[in-house]
Chain A
Amino acid sequence: GNSVTQMEGPVTLSEEAFLTINCTYTATGYPSLFWYVQYPGEGLQLLLKATKADDKGSNKGFEATYRKETTSFHLEKGSVQVSDSAVYFCALAMNYGGSQGNLIFGKGTKLSVKP
């Protein structure tokens, strides 16, 4: 079936370090891809998304490019801040003739940024 695999955490970085969180997917068709972030005690917030191959989603300094050839959607940020400490979820949603199914999430990657 359709699934998402993301790198195990936790990831601990120093402030201003470069961040990469790997995400790969398995899908029978052409999904939309998403990154969601969950801060402690809060719900999920959409960070960025891409709906077709080669699209790049970006927001708040984070970027991810939809790579169909490698079935990947890796999250990157050039310089992380302490406030970026959170759990990051990669997700996909299948598209069926213009209609989108439910979100399928990866297990999440916890990021801790130290000052």
Chain B
Amino acid sequence: NAGVTQTPKFRILKIGQSMTLQCTQDMNHNYMYWYRQDPGMGLKLIYYSVGAGITDKGEVPNGYNVSRSTTEDFPLRLELAAPSQTSVYFCASSQPGLAIYNEQFFGPGTRLTVL
């Protein structure tokens, strides 16, 4: 199993551009999450999904959109990129009720810089 994969690994955007961060998991997990990690600020939840076709906002959803058309994929869309969106983005998945501690499995991250 590859686990959770994310593409791209790095990206530089200009202000106002848009892009999609890709996330795929092969563990058949129903739950998927997008976090952003800023230095010294921990992980902040952007959006999450409890299954295909179901998404909900987290703590910091402004400026982002998501979709979940399949169990495996959970892309994150940035529209009109702003310098405040410079961060490292992590996708994660879990299957509550399956793992003992509802463990989340994280991808390797996407480092995004908006100039």
Specify whether A and B are partners. no
Residues on A close to B: CB < 8 A?
A: none
